[in-house]
Amino acid sequence: MIAVVTGGASGIGKATCTALRAEGFTLAVLDLDVSAVDPGDGGSARVADVSDAGAVEAAFAAIVAEHGRIDVLVNNAGITGGPAATVCHETPVEDFDRVLAVNVRGPFLCSRAALPTMLAQGAGHVVTVASAAGLVAFPGRHAYTASKGGALMLARSIALDYAGTGVRSNAVCPGFVRTPMTQWRLDVPELAAAVEANIPVGRVAEPEDVADAIAVLASGRMGYMTGHALVVDGGWTVR
């Protein structure tokens, strides 16, 4: 089985690669920097910007040429936006566009590139890493919240349009996760305490917590599920 993981060099993506290898998948990893990627036996790693249509098409063509199929696509690559990407009227247009380009255009381009192969196989699963921010708005993160809502609805749209073809689509919606993008906040004791105070289980997620959920979906053990948003947030959204 072949799994394509975008943004597989760090954070949730890196943990997902480890979890999928344990499930028996051969990996094809895409990232802007693959120097730290370990795709495992028989796997591959390629440099690609998921917001670049030409780069995505070339990468997926190479993956199919090398591996012959795509069983699972994990749309994981994402960004939160810089400090300037805050409330709506203060967010620079270029910051908004970049967040949407990676977090929505990226999953669209990668899904678009993978789907013909999945359809030809009569089977496949697109797993998109959205966010709890796609379900409830995160304060001061206008671009990120908008993008993750878009990513979630993209996943649901794919589920609806391809139901009955053997191709499924689901989303995973993490809450606050300890990654290189969030570590700066967790390194400040008062900021870390404020984050944890809003999480009923009392701790932020580790990348492995989210990777486990992705691996369960990818395994096919929940084969009747499609169009679902699997929330992995320690109870944050049920407060």
Residue 60's alpha-carbon distances to 36, 70, 153, 188, 190, in angstroms, are 21, 9, 23, 40, 44
Run of H or E residues at 30: strand 26-31
Tell how far CA 103 is from the center of its chain. Answer: 8
- Describe the crossing of helices 53-67 and 106-121 by its angle, rounded to 10 degrees: 30
CA distance 15 to 3: 14
Spell out a b/e string for 129-142, using b for 16 or more CB atoms within 10 Å of the CB, else e.
Answer: bbbbbbbeebeebb
The neighbour count for residue 10, using CB atoms within 10 Å, is 16
Q: What is the largest CA-CA distance in the chain?
A: 52
Backbone angles phi, psi at 238, to 5 degrees: -105, 5
Please give the positions annotated as active site: 144
